[in-house]
Structure 1
Amino acid sequence: MGTYEKEQERLQCLLQECLSDEDNNKFFEPDGTSDEYEPESSEDFDSDLSYYDNQPPNKKNKVTKNFTSGVQHDDNDGLGPSTSTGITTHLQPFDTEQHIYKAIESVIRQMDSLSSSDEEENQNTNDCDYQWETVTGSHLKKISFNENSTGFRAELYETMYNKTPYDFYKLFVNDDIINLIVTETNRYAAQRIAKNVHPNARVKSWKPTNAEEIEKLLGTILWMGVCPYPQLQNYWLKDKIYNNYIRNIISRNRFQLLLQMLHFSDNSILSNDRLQKLTPLLDKLKDSFQDPITPSENVFIDETLVPFRGRLKFLQYIKNKRHKFGIKMFKLCLEKGYTYNFSVYCGKSKDEQMSVPSKIVLDLMGNLLDSGRTVYTDNWYTSVSLATELLKRDSVAAECKEGIVVQKWRDKREVLCLSTKHTDEMVNVPKRGQSISKPKIILEYNKCKAFIDLSDQVKAYNTSLRRSLKWYRKLALELLTGTSLVNAHSAHQEIANEKMSITKYREEVIKELLKDREDSILKNVVPEQPAHVLENVGRTNRRRCTTCYANMSKQLGSKEAARKTAQSSLKCSECNKHYCLSCFF
């Protein structure tokens, strides 16, 4: 038997070993769990999106899969060595051609069964109706991107090129949003005061707020991210070690009262919506995010977690995240980390006709459907049913006649991709002085995955989030001081003449937000100290020198200071305190 025949026999035995028993196939056997990708280093990965390493032999290997350059991994080495650079669904059939196609159909069925990590999601899709063939690209639907101009609106380049960082921030947190916060905060405070609260309650001292004070509140919160202190009260300490000029902007009691009253909707309007307390704000923010820009051809959808550990019905736990507990948000991101659309996950609705991942993708795409755009997602959203639905809307998401391609590639581990745009094309890329072959679908996925990674990375710098906030306030402040600021910085970098880092940009916005206006209601927070005017009140009315007593108390204690401090007959007629001549001069 010649070398060629031996090689054919070896490959055929290898393939039969992989596909002989579908029940024992570890590559695509779900374990009922959900894991989410989170990059653990900045290094470009090869198989690229897997973090499953060295699974115990007594446990089933975890499987992930990704959509439209979505990637599926497992760590099983059952295929053994291979002379090719990767194994894909377009292998040429041997005598077991029918067996191969049945196995491919089984893979697709199980991909749909893994389309959601939530146990309540179970969508029955009859994928056996798909006829899978060798990849040629002939069945791919030709969808052209039909947007004439993308990026920020042309008029912004004319009107905003010489504007300040604060002006760009106001593009997203505009006057409508500030006025909404002012109205609802004052309304909520009035509702609280109308209740039978304790006579000495802090809310009794409430004075209606205005737009300038809300901006100062946001500026103070941003400043706290740039200058983090151990506790909130440290920002108002008079100790020189803290150097707190924020005391001249807003008092501690007023700041805490504003945080306590901060509101974004009318509590008197009853609703079954779990996001009732945030809906007006979320709608306005979405409009401000989408109005200045037209997305390019490629967009990316993924989730992010806002840290929160309080009581909440839709609180999420993701063990592989840095912050394991929190509120899950889904974001549609563009180039340079710009967040175009977002939604908050509140659990599955009972009347939904499709799986949660599919519904999220279609909702976030919204008006971007029917335009030829390519949406990239990770394993949680990937399913043949979603790919079919996107094909109906002219959105690109073993080739079948319906125009869906499945490709399996092996580098360090197995990678399973599903796409309605790409073929099985392989490209050579340089790595450590040599050239390696990788599927084009994976390269393009990694490029677009950087959209949301950049957004989360920049947002994490100098974060202002703190504990002890109610969930809706924490989520709102994350959007107002995090996502909005990143979008504003992205617009500033693209349009403005002066380029700056995100930290420098944040500092410039803080300066403008904390700047005093003529109609400020905060100017009397810390009054200037008047000049002392001393008068002699006589020996019988002597009292301890205020300055001497304070200095001696720090050194000897109050009792010893009271005994040793000299008394003075000089009293200030303005502040009614006694001073000795040495302290006065």
Structure 2
Amino acid sequence: MGTLDTSVVCLPLFTHQRKKENVSFGRHSIPPSVADVHLGKEMFEIFKLFFTDEIISHLTEQTNLYAHRDKNNKDFCVDENDMMKFLGLLLISGYHSVPSENDYWSSSEDLEIPIFANTMCRERFKSIKRFFHVADNNNLENSKVAKILPLLHMLRNNCQKHGIFHEFLSIDESMIPYRGHHSAKQFIRNKPVRFGYKMWMMCSADGYPYNFSIYCGKDKSKKELLGYQVVMDMLQPVVNKDEHVVFFDNFFTSHALMIDLTSNGFRACGTIRDNRTGKCPLLSKKELEKKERGSYDYRSDDSVLCSRWNDNSIVTVASNYYGVSPMQKVNRWVKNEGRKAINQPHMIKMYNKGMGGVDVCDQMLSTYRPRLRSKKWWWNIWSHLLNLSIVASFRFYQHVNPGSQISHKDFRREIARTLARIETPRKREGGPTSSVPKAIRYDNVNHFLQEFSKGRCYVCKKNTRLKCIKCEKTLHKACSINFHKK
């Protein structure tokens, strides 16, 4: 790590080493706001900035192409309005759960969700889902996930077209649940989602996604550590480097990465593993554990500063921007002393403040994940990207309207209902109705026939104008006797 600063351990103030402890680039500017450009726009207008008409046209075109050319079904046809209604129903399934897909169109009072039947008939929805496609099978990229890449690229570009307007950025991994068979599927032990596709993400501290890509395995052409490659790839869209600070965990951090980020003008901070500190001579973990809680040690080579702090466990953080001062005070439980204010280095406080944006995004994605499933291996990625567009537009709406009190759920409901009602609601055209519970049908209590609009008798299927007010079935007088008798 070069010639290291041998500063005194655990001093709350610095003397002649103070300047060496501070590895700041200098002045740090704040990103400009993009709120003024989109001020006053409604929620659906904000959503269309991310999931644009271009994306909907692309999905419609590829779905028709797949049905006509690849499946030789010339009768199938879908337009943009049908596609928008299809998307709306997918989003509704994320916050309105029933046991099976068919139950969304059930007419039973305990399962009925009227907006599904009023938006699209069940067979129409299933046919769109059967032929739904994202990419042209005759023009795929050289990738394990080529069938989903066109949508991923368009959505990623839309997330970046407003610039990067947050100060704190975090880079981490995210998981898309999937338990089928695919060469890009990953297994990560001790994670909330253990099986699925791994996605690298760069998000703001509040969960707005700026950059993301799906991990398809090791790239043998690159010799750097995987964490190093991911950080450099995720930071490519960042133009005004002096407006941002980047945070990542110990999977990514290394002394070599910090040096290269410094040379490229990026401010960064992250937890670091012991074997990646560039042989920085910090106090060992065993030595620091023997000291009182809140003790710390640090060393600097004028480019990177490493600090080790004794908290619940020993924490090591490296940064090319933050230092250990100004020292913070945090409350912790200390054995035999109760709650007590202990020292906390400034760089650790900032790491806790800036890191975690990807986890915030993951939490919002998992709360209302679309539940309608398919056997296609890429379906989970597709529904994840649709879900991600809602999260991005919600966070952008909050940035444009900082005084808004709307919740994530209500924002999502507004978008889903708007998509589902893009056309006049359809009327249900007959079909079987839900059965009457036997305990009600045969109880011989209050089964009166009342005049009603003409319909088919539930028993003999002939026209009648009578209906049982309790069972809600159209019946003739004679048929009613047989219907209510065991």
User: What TM bracket, shorter-length normalisation?
Assistant: 0.7 to 0.9
The corresponding residue for 2:447 is none
**1:428 maps to 2:329:** yes
Rg larger in 1 or in 2?
1
**1:345 maps to 2:215:** yes
Task: Return closer, same or farther for 1:214/1:572 CA change in 2, 3 Å cut-off.
Answer: closer
Which amino acid in the other structure matches residue 398 of structure 2?
Q
The correspondence for 1:290, drawn from 160, 163, 177, is 160
**1:362 maps to 2:232:** yes
The correspondence for 1:379, drawn from 250, 265, 276, is 250
1:499-539, Cα deviation, whole Å (9 max, x unpaired): 31111111111110111426xxx847x3489xxxxxxxxxx
For residues 395 and 451 of structure 1, what CA distance do their matches in structure 2 show?
18
For residues 386 and 223 of structure 1, what CA distance do their matches in structure 2 show?
43
The Cα of 1:339 is off from its aligned counterpart by 0.9
The Cα of 1:485 is off from its aligned counterpart by 0.8
The corresponding residue for 2:292 is none
For residues 69 and 151 of structure 2, what CA distance do their matches in structure 1 show?
20
Please, which runs of 5 or more residues in structure 2 have no aligned partner? Answer: 8-16, 269-279, 281-298, 334-338, 443-453, 468-473, 477-486
Tell me, yes or no, if the aligned pair for 1:465 and 1:477 is still in contact at 8 Å. Answer: no
Task: Return closer, same or farther for 1:243/1:271 CA change in 2, 3 Å cut-off.
Answer: closer
1:16-51, Cα deviation, whole Å (9 max, x unpaired): xxxxxxxxxxxxxxxxxxxxxxxxxxxxxxxxxxxx
For residues 365 and 329 of structure 1, what CA distance do their matches in structure 2 show?
15
For residues 112 and 441 of structure 2, what CA distance do their matches in structure 1 show?
25
Tell me, yes or no, if the aligned pair for 1:317 and 1:324 is still in contact at 8 Å. Answer: yes
The corresponding residue for 2:51 is 173
The corresponding residue for 1:215 is 84
For residues 140 and 360 of structure 2, what CA distance do their matches in structure 1 show?
38
**1:390 maps to 2:261:** yes
For residues 438 and 140 of structure 1, what CA distance do their matches in structure 2 show?
16
For residues 192 and 554 of structure 1, what CA distance do their matches in structure 2 show?
51
The corresponding residue for 1:155 is 37
Tell me, yes or no, if the aligned pair for 1:336 and 1:454 is still in contact at 8 Å. Answer: yes
Which amino acid in the other structure matches residue 413 of structure 2?
E
Tell me, yes or no, if the aligned pair for 1:181 and 1:264 is still in contact at 8 Å. Answer: yes
The correspondence for 1:578, drawn from 462, 466, 473, is 462
**1:416 maps to 2:288:** no
The corresponding residue for 1:117 is none
3-state DSSP of counterpart to 2:180: coil
Which amino acid in the other structure matches residue 280 of structure 1?
P
The Cα of 1:431 is off from its aligned counterpart by 5.1
Task: Return closer, same or farther for 1:470/1:144 CA change in 2, 3 Å cut-off.
Answer: farther
The corresponding residue for 2:345 is 439
Tell me, yes or no, if the aligned pair for 1:407 and 1:424 is still in contact at 8 Å. Answer: yes
After TM superposition, the score normalised by the length of structure 1 is 0.64
The corresponding residue for 2:365 is 459
The correspondence for 1:407, drawn from 300, 303, 307, is 307
The correspondence for 2:3, drawn from 107, 120, 131, is 131
The corresponding residue for 1:242 is 111
For residues 378 and 139 of structure 1, what CA distance do their matches in structure 2 show?
22
3-state DSSP of counterpart to 1:273: coil
The Cα of 1:582 is off from its aligned counterpart by 4.2
Task: Return closer, same or farther for 1:210/1:375 CA change in 2, 3 Å cut-off.
Answer: same
Tell me, yes or no, if the aligned pair for 1:391 and 1:420 is still in contact at 8 Å. Answer: yes
3-state DSSP of counterpart to 2:210: strand
Which amino acid in the other structure matches residue 3 of structure 2?
Q
The corresponding residue for 2:446 is none
Task: Return closer, same or farther for 1:466/1:208 CA change in 2, 3 Å cut-off.
Answer: closer
Task: Return closer, same or farther for 1:297/1:580 CA change in 2, 3 Å cut-off.
Answer: closer
The corresponding residue for 1:487 is 392
The Cα of 1:312 is off from its aligned counterpart by 1.0
**1:266 maps to 2:136:** yes
Tell me, yes or no, if the aligned pair for 1:370 and 1:393 is still in contact at 8 Å. Answer: no
Task: Return closer, same or farther for 1:329/1:551 CA change in 2, 3 Å cut-off.
Answer: closer
For residues 582 and 348 of structure 1, what CA distance do their matches in structure 2 show?
70
The Cα of 1:493 is off from its aligned counterpart by 2.1
Task: Return closer, same or farther for 1:140/1:470 CA change in 2, 3 Å cut-off.
Answer: farther
1:159-187, Cα deviation, whole Å (9 max, x unpaired): xx2x3322221111011111111111111
The Cα of 1:451 is off from its aligned counterpart by 2.1
**1:334 maps to 2:204:** yes
The Cα of 1:207 is off from its aligned counterpart by 2.1
Deviates more, 1:181-190 or 1:494-503: 494-503
1:369-407, Cα deviation, whole Å (9 max, x unpaired): 662332110011011111111111011235454611111
Tell me, yes or no, if the aligned pair for 1:369 and 1:394 is still in contact at 8 Å. Answer: no
For residues 35 and 404 of structure 2, what CA distance do their matches in structure 1 show?
19
Tell me, yes or no, if the aligned pair for 1:177 and 1:284 is still in contact at 8 Å. Answer: yes
Which amino acid in the other structure matches residue 429 of structure 1?
V
Please, which runs of 5 or more residues in structure 1 have no aligned partner? Answer: 1-126, 195-203, 530-545, 558-570
Matched-pair identity in %: 25
The corresponding residue for 1:511 is 417
After TM superposition, the score normalised by the length of structure 2 is 0.76
Task: Return closer, same or farther for 1:442/1:485 CA change in 2, 3 Å cut-off.
Answer: same
The structure carrying a bigger strand percent of its residues is: 2
1:73-109, Cα deviation, whole Å (9 max, x unpaired): xxxxxxxxxxxxxxxxxxxxxxxxxxxxxxxxxxxxx
Tell me, yes or no, if the aligned pair for 1:150 and 1:293 is still in contact at 8 Å. Answer: no
For residues 410 and 553 of structure 1, what CA distance do their matches in structure 2 show?
68
Task: Return closer, same or farther for 1:369/1:477 CA change in 2, 3 Å cut-off.
Answer: same
**1:449 maps to 2:355:** yes
For residues 35 and 455 of structure 2, what CA distance do their matches in structure 1 show?
63
For residues 581 and 250 of structure 1, what CA distance do their matches in structure 2 show?
29
3-state DSSP of counterpart to 1:342: strand
For residues 499 and 180 of structure 1, what CA distance do their matches in structure 2 show?
34
1:388-444, Cα deviation, whole Å (9 max, x unpaired): 111110112354546111111112221111111122333213457642211211111
Tell me, yes or no, if the aligned pair for 2:21 and 2:323 is still in contact at 8 Å. Answer: no
1:302-322, Cα deviation, whole Å (9 max, x unpaired): 111010011111211112112
Which amino acid in the other structure matches residue 345 of structure 1?
Y
1:271-299, Cα deviation, whole Å (9 max, x unpaired): 42223112221111111111224333321
3-state DSSP of counterpart to 1:407: strand
The corresponding residue for 1:308 is 178
3-state DSSP of counterpart to 2:309: strand
The corresponding residue for 1:94 is none
Tell me, yes or no, if the aligned pair for 1:357 and 1:381 is still in contact at 8 Å. Answer: yes
For residues 356 and 275 of structure 1, what CA distance do their matches in structure 2 show?
19
For residues 21 and 440 of structure 2, what CA distance do their matches in structure 1 show?
86
